[in-house]
Each structure stands twice: as structure tokens, then as C-alpha cells.
């Protein structure tokens, strides 16, 4: 029998459910959570209508680079907005600490020379920057576990969700104009119905369903729930850069890849070997988190930052 829950907790569970399966029906979510379908639909539609929660398709065009930047006095917002205006920018945070701005820019190898030598130095508001090429994606938000749902609820939501073995990075292979049009339509609204997609593209809803499912299974198409982590009680966004002994790189990589409490982790080239993002309940939670993390003991040196403002998440402009 469905039960009633407090509004905020119910909303948090709906958000994590859509994080797992962005196109899940209200009936599936209600069944997984043991709630009334009408209540789930009403709450979810209110979150979507407010813009607090958005469902968007993303693709990762290239491994690109992490940008660590310092800005002119009072110019961090300007630099962040200028960087976020680039379509290749996947996310960008204004941060505390050594750097004012940290971002992931998925530039292709063909763009690197112009980006590193001309475009970054000319970015409005940016005084200094390091660009650290991404060597390997270890984790992305697609398999992050926020911890709101119980194990049973999460298992029920995972039923029927395409789970590609590998994250697809780079241009899609053998994509025709219909596939490209589908991706463009889903970037605007990842919950468009198959009937609506069919009308936009000029194909049947059956064909639209088949192509979307194939793109998701291949890893080319990722559907993301885009939201401020504060909505699910994660009030501190931490970014860690760190290094380890060369003999420990493989082991640390494997342990980061296996830790589903980590939202994002990459291996990078440069003075740091890894960049890690974690969302925690409070700013004073980091020590407790690291004390319990099996991989933290492999770190020999590092630095931490708190995101205080975000202009872009999951390739979606927020302001």
C-alpha cells in the first residue's frame, strides 16, 4: 500500500529516481518508492516546471582538459560566464582556495592548440590558468549514488535502465541525421515523449523509441537529471586535486572507479594526477568522508576547494 512521506524527503527520492532513470514513468517511480502515482506525478512536474530539476541529454565530445584559473579582482563571475558560453564546457565552478575557477572543457585534439595558446589567454576576466589534459574518465555523475534511496528502492529503479559497459567519449560513430536530430531534441528536453520526438524528426514513435534506446545502450547518449545538490541535502560541493606515488596510480584509479559515493573523478596530466568531486551534507563533513574512504590513504599530497557558485552543470547553462 502506498504511503505518504514528508514533502522534502519525497522530492529528494523523486530526484534520485530520475537521476537513475531520467525517462522513468511516474508509475515506475511510484512503484519503486511505494508512493501514490498521482503524488509522484504532481511533485515531479512541479520540480520540472520550476526549473529546479531539468532532464537533459548530454554527449561527451572529447576528453578535453580541466581548467584551473585565477581571475582579476571581482572578475570571477565574468570569467565563469565567458567559459560557460563555450559549448564544449561541461561544468564550471567558482571556488574558494588556490583557484577561483575550476572547469571541465571537452575540447577535441584539433582544438587544443588554439584553445591553449589563444582562447584561454584571451578569456574575459581570467588572469592566469592551467589547462590539465584529461587522460581518463574514472567516474561521472551517470553512476553516482547520492544515498537518498534505499538499496531496494535503487534496485527497483535500475530495472530496465540501459547500462553501457564503457562511457562513450568522442564523436558518435555512424550517426545519421535522424540520430543527430534526436540528440538535439533531447538536449532541450530529455523527457520528450517518443510521439513528440517522432513529430520533430519526422519518424514514427516506434522508430524514435528504437533509436533512443540504441543510443543510450551504446553510451553515446546520456540522460541526466540536472539539479543543485542542495535539493537532496548535499550542501557542500568539494573538489579535490591530488597525487600519489607512481606505483599507486593504477590501484588508486581502480578504487576511485569503484566508489559510487564519488560524483566525478578523472586522471589528469600536470602537477596533479587526479581530480575528484564529492557532494557532502556539510562543509565540515570532508574529514569524516576521507577517513572512511578506502582510497584516501593512497594520496600523498593534495588540495581541496569548495564550489561557491556554479554557472554550468552537465553541459547545461544555469544562469
Per-residue pLDDT of the chain (319 residues; tens, 9 = 90+): 455 454 599 999 999 999 999 999 999 999 999 999 999 999 999 999 999 999 999 888 899 999 999 999 999 999 999 999 999 999 999 999 999 999 999 998 899 999 999 999 999 999 999 999 999 999 999 889 999 999 999 999 999 887 765 677 877 667 889 999 999 999 999 999 999 999 999 999 999 999 999 888 888 888 999 999 999 999 999 999 999 999 999 999 999 999 999 999 999 999 999 999 999 999 999 999 999 999 999 999 999 999 999 999 999 999 7
Please tell me whether residue 91 adopts helix, strand or coil conformation.
strand
C-alpha cell at 45: 512536474
Question: What is the structure's pLDDT at 1?
Answer: 46
Q: What is the Cα–Cα distance from 58 to 184, expressed in whole angstroms?
A: 9
pLDDT of residue 2: 55
Helix (H, G, I), strand (E, B) or coil at 308: strand
254 and 241 Cβ atoms separated by less than 8 Å: no
Q: What is the pLDDT of residue 25?
A: 96
Unique residue bearing C-alpha cell 541535502 = 233
pLDDT of residue 171: 72
**Burial category of 165 from C-beta neighbours within 10 Å (exposed 0-12, middle 13-18, buried 19 and up):** exposed
Q: Which residues pair with 313 in a beta bridge?
A: 316
Secondary structure class of 27 (helix, strand, coil): helix
Contact 273, 244 (CB under 8 A): yes
Q: How far is CA 204 from the centre of its chain?
A: 31
> With contact defined as beta carbons under 8 Å apart, do 247 and 239 qualify?
no
* Residue 276 near residue 242 (C-beta atoms within 8 A): yes
Collect all residues with Cβ–Cβ distance below 8 Å to 230 and sequence separation of at least 6.
none
Sign of the dihedral through C-alpha 98, 101, 105, 107: negative
Domain ranges of the chain: 173-211
**Rounded distance, CA 126 to CA 120, Å?**
8
Task: Give the chain's radius of gyration (CA, Å).
Answer: 20
Amino acid at each position: 500500500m502506498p504511503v505518504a512521506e514528508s514533502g522534502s524527503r519525497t522530492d529528494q527520492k523523486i530526484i534520485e529516481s530520475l537521476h537513475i532513470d531520467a525517462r522513468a514513468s511516474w508509475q515506475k517511480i511510484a512503484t519503486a518508492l511505494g508512493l501514490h502515482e498521482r503524488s509522484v506525478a504532481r511533485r515531479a512536474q512541479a520540480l520540472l516546471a520550476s526549473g529546479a530539476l531539468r532532464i537533459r541529454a548530454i554527449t561527451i565530445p572529447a576528453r578535453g582538459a580541466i581548467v584551473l584559473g585565477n581571475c582579476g579582482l571581482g572578475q570571477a563571475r565574468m570569467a565563469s560566464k565567458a567559459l560557460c558560453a563555450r559549448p564544449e564546457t561541461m561544468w564550471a565552478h567558482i571556488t574558494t582556495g588556490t583557484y577561483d575557477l575550476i572547469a571541465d572543457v571537452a575540447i577535441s585534439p584539433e582544438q587544443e592548440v588554439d584553445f591553449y595558446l589563444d582562447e584561454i589567454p584571451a578569456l574575459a576576466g581570467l588572469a592566469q590558468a592551467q589547462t590539465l589534459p584529461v587522460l581518463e574518465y574514472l567516474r561521472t555523475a551517470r553512476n553516482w549514488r547520492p544515498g537518498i534511496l534505499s538499496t531496494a528502492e535503487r534496485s527497483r529503479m535500475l530495472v530496465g535502465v540501459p547500462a553501457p559497459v564503457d562511457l562513450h567519449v568522442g564523436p558518435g560513430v555512424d550517426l545519421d541525421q535522424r540520430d543527430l536530430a534526436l540528440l538535439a531534441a533531447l538536449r532541450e528536453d530529455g523527457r520528450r515523449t517518443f510521439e513528440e520526438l517522432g513529430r520533430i524528426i519526422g519518424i514514427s514513435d516506434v522508430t524514435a523509441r528504437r533509436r533512443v534506446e540504441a543510443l543510450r545502450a551504446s553510451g553515446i547518449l546520456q540522460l541526466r537529471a540536472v539539479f543543485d545538490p542542495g535539493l537532496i541535502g548535499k550542501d557542500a560541493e568539494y573538489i579535490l586535486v591530488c597525487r600519489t606515488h607512481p606505483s599507486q596510480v593504477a590501484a588508486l584509479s581502480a578504487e576511485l572507479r569503484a566508489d559510487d559515493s564519488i560524483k566525478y573523478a578523472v586522471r589528469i596530466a600536470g602537477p596533479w594526477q587526479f581530480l575528484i568531486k564529492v557532494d557532502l551534507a556539510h562543509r565540515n563533513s570532508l574529514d569524516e568522508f576521507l577517513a572512511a574512504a578506502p582510497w584516501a590513504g593512497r594520496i600523498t599530497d593534495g588540495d581541496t576547494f569548495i564550489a561557491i557558485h556554479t554557472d554550468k552543470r552537465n553541459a547545461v547553462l544555469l544562469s
